[in-house]
Structure formats: structure tokens, C-alpha cells
A and B are shown apart, each in its own frame.
Chain A
């Protein structure tokens, strides 16, 4: 399926212009973009529900808009956002309605039709629900049933508008997994819109960004992440970042002039929970010395932290150590997370010694530490850090960053040192 120089909209109002994209069989194409950017308009036009205002949508060289209803329905199936008023219908009846373009005037199902219905229910995993009424289904089950209905049309392409909206977290992942399987295992060309960026990046073979009146197509999610325009379409100012390595979304640290500073010595994944907790606690956090291939480095950079770094697989250099020492000694709080230490990062232990010899206090968070560093004040968790003033911070690695408590108290001390951002 190919859209060429498409203009889409309602009546005379153009919502999108200059749209060219391809939906490939066997691939899951996910459409993302801010609300009201025209995702639905695009999908409805591709599905032939809306007439294009300009340009064409072609399937196997034929114009979708000129196809007869039945013929089009046998080629393209659609799941829209409208809630069907079929509460008393059973799942089997609903899926059976998908045979609409194949049946006669009385919609009597032939054995061939029943087979297709059965297959659609199997693929979507709703066979066991066949006798249930629509009212008795959960939102996630209903969505799968509606997808099964569209599949019963036996289309080559499946178009879904916001199939994960209103679903709980497990159902969202379930539906996305289903869509990916439909593409990769059943060979259907699937295109769906979603407002969930991370799910889109994780599940999509191809990403389409709908923003400011047009679309941008990325052949791989990684390409989308690497494009500043892509992240820009989703963040107010610069509030989030996208990690090109993990394809994850991070909340960027928002520097405030009067924020107290914290320096974290970490590595090998011991740092991120502490970074997040300290950022939530209102700190301006920096970290070091981290190797550029360390997971802590990627997370710190994604979060917009200042990082003193070292090249991969090189021992920590004197230069890096000096930079870290300077930054750490100017901080209000120094934290060590007991990362594994080997020849390449043993410089960090020297850093601690230097800091201690300067009479600075260094906290160690190490309830499960495997070695000791003399002179550290060991606490069990981030919550136990004795922080200036009445500041309490909490760490909850299992929760997403936006659900945590935010520090709202006034900061005890202000420091106006320069902030050079390493990311």
C-alpha cells in the first residue's frame, strides 16, 4: 500500500499535505504524533473511509478510493475508535460480521466463512470467548474481538486507529504484541496509530511521525530516535530525551540556578536509581568517572546529567580523575554506589580516597555491597541519606519517574557555578 503526495482532511480543511509513505506487508508500521496532529485523518484516508483531498492511495497499483466497497473491504480491514453498539451480540457474531464483504444479501455464513471466522478468533486468541456477550468483555478483550472482526475480512492490510487507548498496561502490550505477530507471522501489512511513544519505538518495524501538517517516515525506530525533530514533536521545551541505545524515554533534568549539587560515583547499572531519586529530590546531579560504554553513562546522558567520562576499555586517566575531583568537591553531596571494580575503573577508588583526604563526607549506598571502602558513611538506601535541611528523598526503581514525589522545599544553599552540559 502506497500513498503518493496525499492531502487529507475534512471538507475543504486540509489537515495533512505532501504525505508519501508505504505500508508493507509483513511489517508493523506505527504512527505517532501529538494529539490532533492528524493521525486519525491519515489512517481514515488510507483505509478509504475518507476521500483524499489530493494525491492517491494505491494498493497493488489500484486506487483505493475507486474500489467498490466490497472489494476494498476484502483488501483493507479497519478498526476505528468508535464503540460498537452491539452489547447483546456474542463474540462469534461480532467476528462473523467481518465476513460482510464476502456474504450474500442475507449475510448467511458458508462453511468457508465460518472457517475464516474461526481462524480470525484463533489468531487473536478469543476462541474461548466465543459465546460471551460484548458487555461481558474487558476492554482489552473487546479490542482483540474487534481486531478479529477486521481480520475475518481476510484483508491484506489492517489499519487501526489508537488500538491501545483506554486499555490497561498489560492489555496495551498484549494488543501491540498481537499486531506485531499479525504482521510478522500472518504477513498482514499493519499500520496503527498510538500516542505511546515508548511502545511505538519498541514494537514498530517502521515509524511514521505525524506533526505540523505532514508526515515523516523512519525506516527503523532508531532513525526516529536519532532525529531531533522527532523528540521535539513530543516534548514541551526540552523535557524528555530518547535513548538511541535502549529506545527509552528519559525525563531530562531541569537545571535550576539555586539547586544543590550531588555527585555520584557509580557504574554497571548501580547508578540510575540513585540518579533518578536525586533528580526528583531537587538536586542537580552529575556523575563520574563513567566509561562511555557503561549503562550508567547512557542513562546519565539520556537524563541530561553532567558526566565526567572515559573512553571505553581505557583505564581512568589522570585528566578524568582531576575533572571528577573538581566537580565532586564542589558538590553538596557525594554518593558512592559500590559498583564492581576492576583494573579499568579502579581510578574511582582513588577518587574517593582523595575526596576523603580533603575532609569531605562521602556516603555509600550499599546494602548489598561486596567490598568495603574505609572512611565512607554507609547507608542502606537513598532514603537514609542525611540531607541538608528537611529534605527527604525516596527511591523507587520499580515506578516510572513521573510517579515519584517531587521535592518542593526551599534549597538550603545556593551556588552559582557554571553548568556545562556534557550531553
Chain B
């Protein structure tokens, strides 16, 4: 293990947060940014700009961290280097559940338009449902690509249903729902972010607890059982935590691809370790950083036009998958 990498990760995360708050179509001096972040109120336009950027930065942090940790858990659980909330269709399932809840809930007057907690619960249930479907199908499909294929198809199915829901709803809502089908940090609101943030932090803390049994499962189910791990409980716990994390991310930003895939690989590559006690939390860190940087790229690459974040994450995510697939089959 390379311990010297450890301090680099939080430092670069801090740097990317500063970068995120400082970049955009309106120029804000760096000292105002730092001042704003430290709580000193900046004046006028600068304050508004910093506040706007800060919301999406925090949203990116929460969403990216959740995705990174969830990806690490899923990769270890499925013993599949290609596992990721987006690739396995879990994000899309979560997204579908949220869209359905929004339409049904607001239509029937059960919930106000953006009730983050209700959406989180719906998203978590959707994520859990898809996760369990993947788990059930994975026991039938032993191959690495088979699992991915199942996940991608489930994801398409969920996206299609979400699109149907969105199109059949009225025009004003449609625009808001596009958010849950595309994935972006641009629509972040403090009301949503601040109520999901504690759940995300809680889920991240719980994710630290599944690292130990996940490590045992690396030795195979029987050996894990002989070491004193309760295999079934560990699995269920890991899936539940991953679903909760994915839901947090989706509520905040919609389905965002590849962060959950790339972050754990980056951590493994940087630290050369297999230890989930490190991989899970550090994947959250790297995931947060990837999300923040992707967001910066999304709003600067084609400025003043803004790209969907998934378009940016796919730019690095899809090649990562290709490289992993080729490596596995010995093609270089």
C-alpha cells in the first residue's frame, strides 16, 4: 500500500472545491471565494454567485461521494470490476421511482412538489428493487459481462419508463423531470441538498461498517463463513447501504454515470490495495472530487452552454470500462 497517497486525496479535493467555486461565466476574485467559503459574507453579485456555485458544489460532493462509495461496495460485492450504480441500472431504477413518486404524489396531492425525504425513500426503494433484481439474476449469470449486460438492460428499461412518465406529464413538469433523466448539478437547491446531506453522511458512515465483511467475502463465501462473518446479513447490508447511497445521489442530481465505476479503480490504482476499509471511504473522497471536477468541466467546456454532467463523466468513464474489459480478456 502506498501511504503517501493518503494526504494527497483530501488536499486535491479541497483544491477542486475552490476551483468549482471560483470558475464560471462570472469572474469572482479568489480571495472572495475563500472568504465566502469560510463564512465571510461577500458583497452583492459575488455573494449570489458564490452561493449558487456553492450549492452545486456541495451537491456534487454529496452525490459523488455517495456514488463512489456505492461503486466500491458493488464492485466488491459482485466481484465485478465493471459494477457501478449506473452500469447496473440501479441509478436509473432509483430515478424511475422518484419520477413516479413525483407524478403520483403531486398529482394526488400527497406530497408537495419537492419533498426531498419522500423522494429519498422512493429513490432508495427503487434502487433496492433493481439491486435485488441484479442480485437474483447474477446468481444465474456467472460471467462478468453477463451481469453488466443485465444491469444495462434494466437501466434502459427504467429510463424508458421514466421518459414515458415524463412525456405523459404536462409541459411545465416535464422540464423539471428532465433533470432526473439526464443528471446535472445545475438545478441544485439548498432545500434539497441540505435535507439529503445528513442521510448521505449517515449512509457513508454505515458503509464503513460493511467494509470488514466485504473483505472477508473476498476469500469466498465458505471461507468468510468460517472466519465468523454472517454471509447473508453482510450481503443484504451491503446492498441496502449501496441502495441508500445511490438514492441520495439521485435525489440530489439525477442519475450520473461512471463516477461509481471510476472512483474505486482510481483508489486501487493509486494505493495498490484490496482492503475495502480503505477503498470504500477513499472512493467516496475520489468520487466527490470527480463529481466536482466534472461539474466544473460541464459548465466551462462549452460556456456559456452547460453540458449534462453524465456527458462529461462518460468521456472518462466509457474509456475506463473499455480498458478494463480489454485488460480482462488480455487485449492490449
Q: How far is the CB of A35 from chain B (nearest CB, A)?
A: 19
A84 and B228 contacting across the interface, CB-CB below 8 Å: no
Among B215, B221, B226, B273, which residue has its beta carbon within 8 angstroms of that of A73? B226
Q: Which residue of B lies closest to A93 (CB)?
A: B275
B215 and A107 contacting across the interface, CB-CB below 8 Å: yes
Chain A residues closer than 8 Å to B274, beta-carbon distance: 86-89, 93
Interface string of B261-296 (1 = CB under 8 A from A): 000000010001111010000000000000000000
Among B1, B228, B275, B277, which residue has its beta carbon within 8 angstroms of that of A100? B228
Contact flag A78-B226 (CB < 8 Å), given A86-B218, A93-B275: yes
Chain B residues closer than 8 Å to A83, beta-carbon distance: 220
Contact flag A86-B222 (CB < 8 Å), given A69-B230, A73-B228, A153-B227: no
Among A47, A79, A107, which residue has its beta carbon within 8 angstroms of that of B277? A107
Q: Which residue of A lies closest to B227 (CB)?
A: A100
Among B1, B223, B226, B230, which residue has its beta carbon within 8 angstroms of that of A76? B226
B223 and A78 contacting across the interface, CB-CB below 8 Å: yes
Q: How far is the CB of B83 from chain A (nearest CB, A)?
A: 13
A142 proximal to B (CB < 8 A): no
Pull 20 A–B residue pairs with CB atoms less than 8 Å apart, ordered by A.
A48-B225, A68-B228, A69-B228, A73-B226, A73-B227, A78-B222, A80-B226, A82-B220, A84-B218, A84-B220, A85-B219, A86-B218, A86-B274, A88-B273, A93-B275, A97-B219, A100-B212, A101-B227, A106-B209, A106-B277
B227 and A88 contacting across the interface, CB-CB below 8 Å: no
B212 and A70 contacting across the interface, CB-CB below 8 Å: no
Q: How far is the CB of A158 from chain B (nearest CB, A)?
A: 10
Count of CB-CB pairs between chains A and B under 8 Å: 87
Chain B residues closer than 8 Å to A150, beta-carbon distance: 226
B229 proximal to A (CB < 8 A): yes
Bound together, the chains give a CA A220 to CA B276 distance in angstroms of 46
Q: Chain B interface: which size bin?
A: 20 to 34
Contact flag A70-B273 (CB < 8 Å), given A78-B222, A84-B223: no
Chain A residues closer than 8 Å to B229, beta-carbon distance: 69, 100
Chain A residues closer than 8 Å to B222, beta-carbon distance: 44, 49, 78, 80, 82
A69 and B223 contacting across the interface, CB-CB below 8 Å: no
B227 and A82 contacting across the interface, CB-CB below 8 Å: no
Contact flag A105-B209 (CB < 8 Å), given A84-B219, A87-B274, A97-B216: yes
Bound together, the chains give a CA A48 to CA B229 distance in angstroms of 12
Interface residues of A (CB under 8 A from B): 44, 47-49, 68-74, 76-80, 82-90, 93, 97-98, 100-101, 103, 105-107, 149-150, 153, 159
B272 and A88 contacting across the interface, CB-CB below 8 Å: yes
Q: How far is the CB of B49 from chain A (nearest CB, A)?
A: 41
Chain B residues closer than 8 Å to A77, beta-carbon distance: 226
B118 proximal to A (CB < 8 A): no
Q: How far is the CB of A234 from chain B (nearest CB, A)?
A: 27
A72 and B219 contacting across the interface, CB-CB below 8 Å: no
Q: How far is the CB of A95 from chain B (nearest CB, A)?
A: 12
A82 and B218 contacting across the interface, CB-CB below 8 Å: no
Chain A residues closer than 8 Å to B275, beta-carbon distance: 89, 93
Bound together, the chains give a CA A101 to CA B220 distance in angstroms of 16
B79 proximal to A (CB < 8 A): yes
Q: How far is the CB of B54 from chain A (nearest CB, A)?
A: 32
B208 proximal to A (CB < 8 A): yes
Chain A residues closer than 8 Å to B1, beta-carbon distance: 90
Chain A residues closer than 8 Å to B273, beta-carbon distance: 88-89
B226 and A47 contacting across the interface, CB-CB below 8 Å: yes
B223 and A98 contacting across the interface, CB-CB below 8 Å: no
Chain B residues closer than 8 Å to A88, beta-carbon distance: 268, 272-274
B228 and A101 contacting across the interface, CB-CB below 8 Å: yes
Q: How far is the CB of A395 from chain B (nearest CB, A)?
A: 46
Interface string of B32-69 (1 = CB under 8 A from A): 00000000000000000000000000000000000000
Given contacts A85-B219, A100-B229, 13 further A-B contacts (CB under 8 A): A47-B226, A49-B225, A73-B227, A79-B223, A83-B220, A88-B272, A89-B273, A93-B275, A97-B227, A101-B227, A106-B211, A107-B215, A107-B277
A72 and B228 contacting across the interface, CB-CB below 8 Å: yes
Q: Which residue of A lies closest to B216 (CB)?
A: A100
Chain A residues closer than 8 Å to B218, beta-carbon distance: 84-86, 89
B228 and A70 contacting across the interface, CB-CB below 8 Å: yes
Chain A residues closer than 8 Å to B272, beta-carbon distance: 88
Q: How far is the CB of B88 from chain A (nearest CB, A)?
A: 19
Q: How far is the CB of A120 from chain B (nearest CB, A)?
A: 13
Interface string of B242-277 (1 = CB under 8 A from A): 000000000000000000000000001000111101
B225 and A106 contacting across the interface, CB-CB below 8 Å: no
Q: How far is the CB of B183 from chain A (nearest CB, A)?
A: 31
Chain A residues closer than 8 Å to B219, beta-carbon distance: 82, 84-86, 97, 149
Chain B residues closer than 8 Å to A68, beta-carbon distance: 228
B212 and A105 contacting across the interface, CB-CB below 8 Å: yes
Chain B residues closer than 8 Å to A100, beta-carbon distance: 212, 216, 227-229
Bound together, the chains give a CA A98 to CA B53 distance in angstroms of 48
Chain B residues closer than 8 Å to A98, beta-carbon distance: 227
Q: How far is the CB of A71 from chain B (nearest CB, A)?
A: 8
B226 and A97 contacting across the interface, CB-CB below 8 Å: no
Chain A residues closer than 8 Å to B211, beta-carbon distance: 106-107
Q: Which residue of A lies closest to B223 (CB)?
A: A80
Bound together, the chains give a CA A77 to CA B225 distance in angstroms of 10
Chain A residues closer than 8 Å to B209, beta-carbon distance: 105-106
